[in-house]
Amino acid sequence: MNIGFIGLGRMGSAIASRIVNGGHDVVVYNRTPGRAGDLLELGATEASNVAELCENRELVITMLADDAALRAVTFEAGGLLGSLGKGAIHMAMGTHGVETVVALDSAHREVGQTLVGAPVLGRPKAANEGTLGIITGGPLDAVTKCEPLFPLIGRRVFDAGVKPEGASAVKLANGLLLGCAIEVMGEAFSLVRKYGVDPETFHDVLTGGLFSAPAYKTYARIIVDEAYDDPGFTTELGLKDANLILAAASAANLPLPSANVWRDRLLGSIAHGGAQQDWAVVAREQARAGGLEP
Amino acid sequence: MNIGFIGLGRMGSAIASRIVNGGHDVVVYNRTPGRAGDLLELGATEASNVAELCENRELVITMLADDAALRAVTFEAGGLLGSLGKGAIHMAMGTHGVETVVALDSAHREVGQTLVGAPVLGRPKAANEGTLGIITGGPLDAVTKCEPLFPLIGRRVFDAGVKPEGASAVKLANGLLLGCAIEVMGEAFSLVRKYGVDPETFHDVLTGGLFSAPAYKTYARIIVDEAYDDPGFTTELGLKDANLILAAASAANLPLPSANVWRDRLLGSIAHGGAQQDWAVVAREQARAGGLEP
Amino acid sequence: MNIGFIGLGRMGSAIASRIVNGGHDVVVYNRTPGRAGDLLELGATEASNVAELCENRELVITMLADDAALRAVTFEAGGLLGSLGKGAIHMAMGTHGVETVVALDSAHREVGQTLVGAPVLGRPKAANEGTLGIITGGPLDAVTKCEPLFPLIGRRVFDAGVKPEGASAVKLANGLLLGCAIEVMGEAFSLVRKYGVDPETFHDVLTGGLFSAPAYKTYARIIVDEAYDDPGFTTELGLKDANLILAAASAANLPLPSANVWRDRLLGSIAHGGAQQDWAVVAREQARAGGLEP
Amino acid sequence: MNIGFIGLGRMGSAIASRIVNGGHDVVVYNRTPGRAGDLLELGATEASNVAELCENRELVITMLADDAALRAVTFEAGGLLGSLGKGAIHMAMGTHGVETVVALDSAHREVGQTLVGAPVLGRPKAANEGTLGIITGGPLDAVTKCEPLFPLIGRRVFDAGVKPEGASAVKLANGLLLGCAIEVMGEAFSLVRKYGVDPETFHDVLTGGLFSAPAYKTYARIIVDEAYDDPGFTTELGLKDANLILAAASAANLPLPSANVWRDRLLGSIAHGGAQQDWAVVAREQARAGGLEP
């Protein structure tokens, strides 16, 4: 396929590389220049702006950090909306809010283009190895056209139905599970600490039993060690996700009380200086609320 | 060892059987008569009341359903406190509130006896197979005396320190993790349903990724199938646990906001007729709160 | 009427005095001796125990600090249950939990006595002046028999129906409104402080507008002045009420999410040393959660 | 003064009329035409667009329904930013989010103009009568220039300091108090209903005691009568406010747990069809959560 790829951060570069290596004709673009080097060596070409990238592309993939970037790339003068041809597909692989996705979907549709939502599960390492999970949402024929790319990128595809915002919802719901699991671990660890129990003991209980899953093993370790200063994912980014989750729920008239609890702890963590710490620092904030000061 | 064993429900019978089979001299007692049959065949003897059971016992194990039963067996006339000899150990294996455990600990201490807390992790099947987790709390020498029994009962021992209520705290904290994980799953499933996603897809995302642990696999399945009518554990029992957890937190001046959210959903479930349904029915209650009526 | 009166704290003494002054034949009793002096001068007589107090009394009033005291006075050997005659009335004027009231109601009924719930609204000053609010719950004929006393005690009677626990529910619901109003004020003040607004300005906005009621005027002042060290009502007593409220809700399968939030702040306040401070110190705890340290 | 006035809804028309009657030179504009009739009769003139309205105006007042309208009027081509002269003042009297106000403040400042925040307290009736409360935020000299108008508009001015977003914070905090008071009333009424108490009794308790303020009198009545179908203020508008409040808190890293509870009930109310009902319908949603179905 002839593909355009916008957004060459760690995730984007890794995914684009695998697509180029898969034999596709790929033009890349990144707002901040100088990121395309490795991809050009692999055989990609570089466009100097979005409009140029769109020329003769049947599919443009975006992998952008937030909704503002996605809206800019799409709606601004010289953006995807005005530059892509009729019948072209925009596959958005970032984690985006449902309102943004709905707005893009509607705008693309009006000009005869199609939006596919395809957020991914996994960190850059999985992207490099092509073992991401891919959540797809969009019209069946458009998703089908993108299918040849999926084996290059991921280990598994999850079908979120015919609306691109469905894929966002699944990605956000997965983030909700993780964020709240960390918050609840924080509550549980503070409870055992109050009764004089070595946190290491509770770590063993949970990781050796019902909760022997990556989410719990990773974060129970960080909480026991209070290893918040070398973040895998920051509190600030966690708050961004929490806000997207609650906005999606609000737009659908859905109360999410556990999500509120979690967000409040994220806010408290940031208020106490933890914006750039690992988002598991909510466990420290929870302890603080009970007088177990750091 | 010469052991007394009080409480012959499904968990108690299974544990007592394994101790008898391990070659120990065991006298059993159950408030409701007629439960000791199988144990007597294995070689146990039966006492007709608690006082009789206590005669010449260095260790009495209780496995009782709630705090009221434990308090009755301990404090009533003819109970453990008055009938056990000086130096004897009471090992309480039920899931009990910290206030009850602290009250018993103090009372036993005053008359020269010792309380060991030893709640277990696992269902009756694990008790039959001797693969429970055992959480111990109590003075080192008393716990050491009980140690020969642990390999008969469980796969692993978790050391909660020198206070019996520490063991309760660990057991309750584990219940907190599980109850809140179910509540959060309920929130996440209701979010994806609001955006038209097949719950089966989200089931696959979570059980195949960061949450591939027994807690999530079991309950995601129940939630997707709305299989609440054949309960593994009822909402009513879940509420009993939630109340013990929140009482332990309150006694320690510790806010547990996620636990509050979970308990509110349990209450709402019961208000809507779900007392005897599987406690995962909180997911239905969560859906109802967002207008996704059953 | 020939009346027994148990519980001579500040509230009890004030109420008993007004009843004696109203011309009734009153025997008094207080567990801690030496509190009856003033009442004896007014014409009351003193009993040396509950059983003696009950002799020939058609009505016994209790005004006790907590459920434990009420249960002891009622259920213990020589208590009201065994000492009052058939047809006698026990009017409980303290603030008690619904479970305790239901237990007493049922026990009194079984022996042919009647429980009337009659908790009051107002502080000791109002009790002295006979301007309390009185909330009554109980069988119509029993409440009617007590009616001659009400004008001596209060300015107004509120009819909570034929069950004594209904009166408890009204009293607790009033406490819920007040406790949560303070918590919400704490949230609102912390919000304006975050935006650099003088708390005095917000004080004026709220007390001069929609919230020009005693509850808001009293507590907005305390919060602005951070005058927590001369408590009108302590955090510890607030927690006792919050626990009664949540127990009443739990027993009725009713979620009370705002009550949970309030109780969590009370717990946090106590964890930070505020047990004996004014219960409005939840506003400081709220500020702390947002990094506005005291 | 020569004044421009944008936004002629019920509040805006009432305020503008009083300013015209106060003898000022007023040009008005409303996006939807045909609203200026009465004002023209009083002596105002009408502009055909924002740019025209700005000509020779030292002060432009906006009274707009939401942030989108305010941003459009300010930032769009031909908007306030480009059309107002250097030194001119923009006084925004609507209820706006802090992020919008901060964005406008910074933009006006850059081109030598000044933003004053001046949201008001009160309904259209108070606007007609000139008895609004006015909350001011902005540089002292700019606020001082606006002062001659305040006696025409309101009964009282509240000084929120030198930043326009401070005025927003006060207005939002007042809304937080009110919204949460209604939610808590809903919880309290559902508690007494669970215990068989006539809601009218609880109405009398609260309005006759600590809560004898307009906020409680108005909404307790609506809740007792379940009079949600003739809204004074809709659930949908309540949700808009709740979202502004939580956004302001999030931007300041402040947890507001009671606000979360309230918003969840608003969302549930809308999910159950209450978007256009009175926002006190959260009391019904609260009752529903406890199985007290309407």
Give pLDDT tens digits for C137-191.
999 999 999 999 999 999 999 999 999 999 999 999 999 999 999 999 999 999 9
Active site residue D163: no
| Residue of C190, C261, C269, C272 to mutate, interface with A, max A Cβ within 10 Å | C272
Please say if the pLDDT value at position B37 is more than 90: no
In this prediction, residue A209 carries a pLDDT of 83
**CA–CA dist C260, C180 (Å, integer):** 9
pLDDT of residue C34: 87
State the nearest Cα–Cα gap between C237 and chain B, in angstroms: 14
| Total beta-carbon pairs less than 8 A apart between chain A and chain C | 22
* Residue (of B2, B139, B116) closest to B58 by Cα position: B2
Mean residue pLDDT of chain B comes to 96
- Contact in structure between A85 and A59 (CB atoms under 8 Å): no
Closest alpha carbon within chain B to A137: B197
Interface confidence: ipTM more than 0.95: yes
Number of Cβ pairs < 8 A linking chain C and chain D: 221
β-bridge pairing A120-121 and A132-136: antiparallel
What DSSP element (H or E) covers D144? helix D140-146
> Catalytic: which of D86, D125, D171, D217?
D171
Would an 8 Å CB–CB cutoff place B255 in contact with chain C?
A: yes
Size of interface B-D (CB pairs under 8 A): 22
Q: Closest Cα of chain A to C268: distance in Å?
A: 5
DSSP label at C30? -
- Verify whether the Cβ–Cβ distance A264 to C290 is below 8 Å: no
Which chain D residues touch B271 with a CB distance below 8 Å? 289-291
Nearest residue of A to residue C258, measured between CA atoms: A257
Cβ atoms of C83 and C50 within 8 Å: the answer is yes
Question: Which residues in chain C have Cβ-Cβ distances shorter than 8 Å to A289?
Answer: 264, 268, 271, 289
Active-site choice (B86, B125, B145, B171):
B171
Q: What is the pLDDT of residues D122-159, one digit of tens each?
A: 999 999 999 999 999 999 999 999 999 999 999 999 99
Q: What is the pLDDT of residue B117?
A: 98
**8 Å CB contact between A210 and A258:** no
Answer whether A215 sits within 8 Å of B211, measured CB to CB.
yes
Q: Identify which of A267, A268, A291 has the shortest CB distance to residue C272.
A: A291
Q: Give pLDDT, residue D78.
A: 95
Chain A residues 272-291 with a CB less than 8 Å from chain B: 289-291
Q: Is the CB of residue A212 less than 8 Å away from at least one CB of chain B? A: yes
CB contact under 8 A, D265 and A255: yes
Return contacts of D288-294, CB within 8 angstroms, 24+ apart.
D289/B264, D289/B268, D289/B271, D289/B289, D289/C254, D289/C255, D290/B267, D290/B268, D290/B271, D290/C252, D290/C253, D290/C254, D290/C255, D290/D190, D290/D194, D291/B268, D291/B271, D291/B272, D291/B273, D291/C253, D292/D190, D292/D193, D292/D194, D294/D226
Task: Collect all residues of chain A within an 8 Å Cβ-Cβ radius of residue D243.
Answer: 250
This prediction has a pTM of: 0.96
DSSP 3-state of B77: coil
Distance from CA of B44 to the nearest CA of A (A): 32
The Cα–Cα gap between B90 and B62 comes to 7
pLDDT value of residue B25: 96
Q: What residues of chain A lie within 8 A of the CB of D248, using their CB? A: none
Contact across the interface for A267 and D255, Cβ inside 8 Å: yes
Q: How far apart are CA D186 and CA D269, in angstroms?
A: 12
What is the rounded distance in angstroms from the CA atom of residue A175 to the CA atom of residue C153? 59
Residue B294 has pLDDT above 80, yes or no: no
User: Is the pLDDT confidence value at C294 over 80?
Assistant: no
Q: Do B267 and C253 touch (CB under 8 A)?
A: yes
Quote the pLDDT of residue D260: 98
- Flag whether residue D159 sits within 8 Å of chain C, measured between CB atoms: yes
Of C106, C118, C128, nearest to C38 (Cα)? C128
The mean per-residue pLDDT over the stretch C216-232 comes to: 96
Q: What is the pLDDT of residues C227-263, one digit of tens each?
A: 999 999 999 999 999 999 999 999 999 999 999 999 9
For C34-48, what is each residue's pLDDT tens digit? Answer: 888 899 999 999 999
Question: How many other CB atoms are there within 10 angstroms of residue C227's CB atom?
Answer: 15
Residue contact B255–C239, C-beta within 8 A: no
B251 close contact with C: CB closer than 8 A: no
Helix (H) or strand (E) segment spanning residue A120 = strand A120-121
Contact present, B106 and B92 (Cβ < 8 Å): no
Helix axis angle for A164-194 and B257-271, nearest 10°, is 110
User: pLDDT-derived band of residue B34, with 50, 70 and 90 as boundaries?
Assistant: confident
Chain A residues near residue D253 by CB distance under 8 angstroms: 267-268, 270-271
pLDDT at residue D294 above 80?
A: no
Q: What is the rounded CA–CA span in Å between residue C115 and residue C109?
A: 8
Share of chain B above pLDDT 70, in %: 100
Buried b (16+ CB within 10 A) or exposed e, C136-146: bbbbeebbebb
Residue D208: pLDDT band (50, 70, 90) is confident
Chain C residue whose CA is closest to A291: C271
Q: What is the pLDDT of residue D129?
A: 96
Chain C residues near residue D258 by CB distance under 8 angstroms? 180, 183-184, 187, 258, 261-262
Find all residues with CB under 8 Å of B5, minimum gap 6, and list them. B12, B15, B16, B19, B26, B27, B28, B29, B44, B60, B61, B63
Residue A159: its chain B contacts at CB < 8 A? 198, 201
Tell me, what's the pLDDT at B274?
A: 97
Q: How confident is the model at residue D209 (pLDDT cuts 50, 70, 90)?
A: confident
Give me the residues of chain A with pLDDT under 50, please.
none
Distance (Å) from the alpha carbon of B271 to chain D's nearest alpha carbon: 5
CA dist D55 and D40 (Å) reads 18
Q: Render pLDDT for A114-127 as a digit per residue (tens, 0 to 9).
A: 999 999 999 999 99
A257–B160 C-beta distance less than 8 A: no
When pLDDT is averaged across residues B263-283 and rounded to a whole number, the result is: 98
Check whether C286 has a pLDDT greater than 80.
Answer: yes
B255 to C243: CB separation less than 8 angstroms, yes or no: no
Closest residue in C to B275 (Cα) is C253
User: What value does the mean pLDDT of chain D take?
Assistant: 96
CB C186 within 8 A of CB C282: yes
Cα D187 to Cα B172: distance, rounded to the nearest angstrom: 28
**pLDDT at position C115 over 90:** yes
- Residue B209 binned pLDDT confidence (cut-offs 50, 70, 90): confident
Q: Which residue out of A125, A145, A163, A171 is catalytically annotated?
A: A171
Segment D80-102 shows an average pLDDT of 97
- Provide the pLDDT confidence category of residue D101 given band limits of 50, 70 and 90: very high
Q: How far apart are CA A164 and CA A288, in angstroms?
A: 40
pLDDT band at C211 (very low <50, low <70, confident <90, very high): very high
Contact D135, D160 (CB under 8 A): yes
CB atoms within 10 A of CB C225: 12
- The answer to whether D271 contacts B291, with C-beta atoms less than 8 Å apart, is yes
Give the pLDDT score at A34: 87
- Decide if C241 touches B, using CB distance below 8 A: no
- Measure in Å the smallest separation between the Cα of C92 and chain A Cα atoms: 36
C226 interface with B at CB cutoff 8 Å: no
What chain B residue is nearest to D289 in terms of C-alpha separation?
B268
Report the amino acid identity of residue D109.
Answer: R
